[in-house]
Structure 1
Amino acid sequence: MAEHVLVTGAAGHVGRAVLALLAQRRVRVTALVLHPEAALPAARVVTGDACDPAVVADAMTGVDGVVHLAALPSPRLGTPEEVFTTNTRATFVVLEEAGRRGVRRAVIAGSYAAGGLPFAVRRQSPPYLPVDTATPLLATDPYALSKQVDEVTAAMMARRHEMTVVALRLPFVGDAAEKLPATAARYAERPESGAADVWSYLDTRDAARALALSLSVAEPGCHTLYVAAPETLSAVPTERLLDRYHPGVPRRRRLQGRTVPIDLEPARRVLGFTAEYVFPLK
């Protein structure tokens, strides 16, 4: 585990969970935030844009690990050009500055949305199920494309600087108090609303733990991994959901009960990660 970690996007929902977890583990943290924030559990807080090399270089002082979360997390949070260029520039700048300064371990917040389904301009189904990192990517929106480019950037930086970079394809991430109950209720009322996400999710605490575990990966190179809770956020059995909302899509194995239709084995193998917080459906 790194001894001094830079967390970009530290004021966000996942960023704060990462800060809390690293503080619990007594890891020194520098937090990079876009706007001034009070009372963040970090040894140092740097305010500025993750797209700015000077800001990032300053924030990188003394760091030996990076958790890169800063991004526009939806294609609806800016023009297509803003979403794509902001996300891809920030990832390039952060990893390039890390590599220049001898940082050899980094993790970036990729997204399940890189596959192209959640924000697609028209309804799509994956070519096969469960989804895995070999599944062809079907982006029709700038956010999905930005996340694809981020992964290519991570692979290039790993080669360029002989780094270890983990790109975690995170699903919908939420807390057990508000976001997960609300989404579960929506899926119960309208199961089709979860089809693009294959009803996947991850508790915020598990997201933070997966990101932290990624800094312990020793094998050089870029590792792209899906993480998610092992069960869907729908009470309906997975195979029944797929029959209804992704008909005709080939299945490479039977999905018992509410098993999430995403291949999570690589994350277990590389990170030793299995989600601990499974949302209890009523």
Structure 2
Amino acid sequence: MNIGIVGLGSMGKNHYRVLKRMDNVTITALCDIKKTENFDEPFYDDLETMLKNEPIDALIIAVPTFLHKEVALKAIEYGKDIFIEKPAASSIEDAYEILDAVKQKGVKSCVGHVERFNPAITHLKSELHNRVIYTIEITRIGPFPPRISDVGVLTDLAVHDIDLIRFITGKDILQTSIYKSRKIHNHHEDNAVLSLLLENEIVANITTNWLTPFKRRKVEVACKEVYYEADLIGQTLHAYSDFQTDNSYRTRDIHIKKDEPLYKELEAFIHYLRSGQRGDLASIEDSIQTLHITHAK
């Protein structure tokens, strides 16, 4: 597969690094407004020129969120399959415009919700199969990243967890309450708590901020007869069960083979391009569901 990358910031360079490790994949061209380091591949500062001149099967779109629509529509115009880093677009309307173009042109598309491919999530989802879920608590906190200037924590961080909640439960979100504030960011919220009600009366809470001096990524799920605790950074998963009246319980450490989530996600994307089978990749429709929540008034 011939892959192009547009946007060579932090995430674009991660895609570049991972794709270089993959067999049967060729990075045929790169595009950004400015070349900040040397690459082996042809480099362009104009997307349309790259699309005209280079043999590209699919395009990785890792530009800032406000440019997603413009870049995606241009790639679709040239008949290229697309991988858009989350979220699909800055607004629900823009995301629907991309979706309409994808359908009209018949290209393959997905949105990069990389946490779906975290081994801790893969094992947690498997453990939750056929279990009665009561509550989900997700914590995603850390220091402020100066590279993020065009969006707040809801769009940059909470979208991961809104998507994860739908992904691991297979249930729709029925009601949402969002509480947010701006403490240190110039323009956007940097602190938020989301409370969600899903089908089957599953209650979920997401705590996210850029105010904490260390990173924490945890998912805790209370089920009938068992409680799970997943660490997405350490890629660990623990199960607590056999609860007794004296507050004792049994702990089980679930074996997880650690792996790089982005590698697994791009592997799934290449398989999707070849087979048409989306697998666990997030769709534009999935991203639109998330945008409806983060953009709720």
Q: Does TM, scored on the shorter chain, surpass 0.5?
A: no
Give 1 or 2 for the bigger CA radius of gyration: 2
TM-score bucket (shorter structure): 0.3 to 0.5
TM-score calculated relative to the size of structure 2: 0.42
TM-score calculated relative to the size of structure 1: 0.44
